[in-house]
Copies of this chain bind each other. A is one copy, B any other.
Amino acid sequence: MMEVEERLKGLSRVDSPWVAKLLGHVLENGGKRIRPAITLLSGKLYHHNPDSLVAIATAVEVLHTATLVHDDAVDSSLVRRGKPTVSLIWGEAPAVLLGDYLFASAAHIAASIGNMRVTCLFAQTIMTMSFGELGERFSAYNWEQSREQYYQRIRSKTASLFSAAAELGAILSDAPEEAVEALRSYGYNLGMAFQIVDDVLDFIGDEEEMGKPVGSDLLHGTLTLPAILLLEHRPEDNPIRRISKGRENHADVQLAIDMILDSPIIDECYGIVATFRARACQSLEKLPPSPYSRSLFDLAQYVVKRRR
């Protein structure tokens, strides 16, 4: 992970002080680095080449950072991990173009490794993620979405990268196909658990710890699991149905939050998280015992318990 951090720092050394400043701002941001950790651990299970593995782990984190920069730009978010966003400090245009540069840098690192399967999976993952993000935009303020549609969305926008993070490590280490499949399944299920926790924290999290206000998803018209469950529990007279674009929604969002906290919904959500986590850990059982699979197991624990 220290080598990944070094490589991330190295990306800011470019021939433009302005661009260097922006890159430093977003790449040295105290992120949790969960995705590159998954890549490194997955790769270390087999015959890995350390340089390639560090490179692809770096590419995975750079790709993740690119999506955050664009998310913040299009949502006009002010704060990310307690720091002002690029779009707040430098404006939206630089944020969009910086994100493009990061996407391209990630793809370039991936391509430079010289493994066709890695390069294709990497590009495919960016497609899946942006397709998922687009789908989320077009379903904004549509409160009639099913759980299945929600799962489909978070599969594209989040689980696809977790899954790729694990699979890329496995591919680069010439893992047997069953192990590649097991690690892909681990990543996918962990990604689903991760995103549901994220969506729950948006309702119950500590604003200071998270570095962003609670209720953001509903305010942006994004329907997540806790809200879907509230709509299932209370199909009539539900404040969520009153939330709509261009309207002052804060009171209804607060009411929805209160109703969710006053119900067993959060426990239900964590029950679903536990199911995804259990599936992730089951996948690990197909791997040879090693300190690395043990760490992947612990990582699944952390993802569920995290508070930011």
Contacts and interface: CB of A to CB of B under 8 A. Distances in A.
Contacts of A110: 123
B116 A130 contact: no
Contact of A137 (B93, B104, B134): B93
A97 interface: yes
Interface string A74-86: 1100000000000
Contacts of A134: 16, 18-19, 22, 94, 97-98, 101
Of A110, A134, A135, chain B has the most CB atoms within 10 Å of the CB of A134
A74 B103 contact: no
B104 A127 contact: yes
Of A114, A124, A131, chain B has the most CB atoms within 10 Å of the CB of A131
Nearest to A17: B138
Interface in A110-139: 110-112, 114, 116, 119-120, 122-124, 126-127, 129-131, 133-135, 137-138
A143 to B, nearest CB: 17
Contact of A97 (B14, B70, B114, B122): B70
Contacts of A101: 127, 130-131, 134
Contacts of A133: 97, 100
Number of copies: 2
Nearest to A105: B127
A126 B138 contact: no
B123 A111 contact: yes
Report the contact-size class of chain A (Cβ under 8 Å from the partner). Answer: 35 or more
A75 B14 CA distance: 25
A250 interface: no
B97 A126 contact: no
A124 B107 CA distance: 9
Given A97-B133, A100-B100, A116-B116, 9 more contacts: A19-B135, A70-B97, A73-B96, A92-B92, A97-B130, A101-B130, A101-B134, A111-B119, A112-B120
25 contacts: A16-B134, A18-B134, A18-B135, A19-B135, A22-B134, A70-B100, A73-B96, A74-B93, A92-B92, A93-B137, A94-B134, A96-B99, A97-B130, A98-B130, A98-B134, A100-B103, A101-B130, A101-B134, A103-B126, A104-B123, A104-B126, A104-B127, A108-B126, A111-B120, A111-B123
